[in-house]
Structure 1
Amino acid sequence: MREGAHDPLPPWSSLELAARLHWALSPELPAPYRQALLREQWVQTRCYFARRADLTPAEVAHFCQDPDYVVRLCMAKRPDLLPEQVESLCRDKDPNVRYAVARNALLTPEQRQQLQEDADELVRQAAKKGPRVSQTRCRPGQVPLYR
């Protein structure tokens, strides 16, 4: 996408959605764009970025608090969550997020039990299935992403 390594980056605000998606998945993400992705307006782009296996702990914490449930859902499947992040996702107001975290191997027995008694039937079913190992996928030219 860039002509040469020393070419200045165009301002993030000038990039079209396709370019933003490209950078969200790029293994060679420039630091200024990485920071811009934390404040990205497009949920789809934030979701792609949030699924990166190389997120820093600060980025993980940021996205665990994202106002959009779809981004929090992406975070719920990660194997690198802190105990307080797992707890927060187990108590998320959105059943889709609770459903996603219900299969996370980081759950404590108490959290798994809590989710097995959830008000939502699908959350209960997922929690009863037990933990699922986190998996990544990596398409050519892209950074590994959690599935």
Structure 2
Amino acid sequence: MPAHPNPGAYNAPAMTDLKQQYKAMTFEERMDLALSVDLEVHWRPLLVRDQHAQVKAYFSRRMDLTPEEVALLLADPNQTVRLNCAKRPDLTPEQVEACVNDRDPNLRYFVARNPLLTEAQREQLMDDEDELVRIAVRKGPKKRGTRARPGQAEMIR
């Protein structure tokens, strides 16, 4: 038998079985899964694409997101999901740039205090058309805290 292309892979149920199991979960079960410290990796692609914005909003605050998950969440139509991502300490330079240039002033407001901003991006936001964005960037970078309730993953505050 040939070696598995990913020797570190786990024996997960087939994706169609997982989708059926996931669709059968209640909203509360999905919320618990989004926050779970013991989240099994095969649930992640389903959580990041959940139909419920609140599930994705909680999932988007996890500190253990992959760059691909962050990219999907930054492209989400729900504003709260995107705002949670804008304050992350692990955004790529391209993601920071996209947030700085987003048409939504609320997203620019949330990224305005991100320590990952370059000096040029700070200067750009100092001249932003939105007064609240200008006020936020003048306050300077803010390191976001994290917390983990018992049984829950570490989350950005």
Which letter maps to 1:110?
A
The C-alpha deviation readout for 1:65-106, integer Å capped at 9, x for no partner, is 212221111000001011000000011111111110000000
- 1:32 Cα deviation (Å)? 2.8
| Alpha-carbon distance, 1:135 to partner | 1.3
Q: Distance in 1 between matches of 2:150 and 2:132?
A: 34
* Residues 36-71 of structure 1, C-alpha deviations (whole Å, 9 max, x = no match): 111101111101101100011111121122122211
1:19 matched to 2:29? The reply is yes
Counterpart amino acid of 2:61? R
Is the partner of 2:33 in helix, strand or coil? helix
Bigger Cα Rg = 2
Distance 1:106 1:47 in 2: 22
Report how many aligned residue pairs link the two structures. Answer: 140
| TM-aligned CA deviation for residue 113 of structure 1 | 1.0
Q: What displacement does 1:115 show?
A: 1.0
Instruction: Give 1:48's match in structure 2, choosing from 58, 70, 74.
Output: 58
Indicate which of 91, 104, 112 corresponds to 1:102.
112
Identity of aligned pairs, percent?
51
Q: Does 1:32 align with 2:32?
A: no
Write the distance in 1 (CA, Å) between the matches of 2:56 and 2:90.
18
Aligned to 2:9: none
Q: Does 1:78 align with 2:88?
A: yes
How far apart are the structure 2 equivalents of 1:129 and 1:41?
36
Unmatched runs of 5 consecutive residues or more in structure 2: 1-16
**Aligned to 2:140, which of 107, 112, 130?**
130
Aligned to 2:69: 59
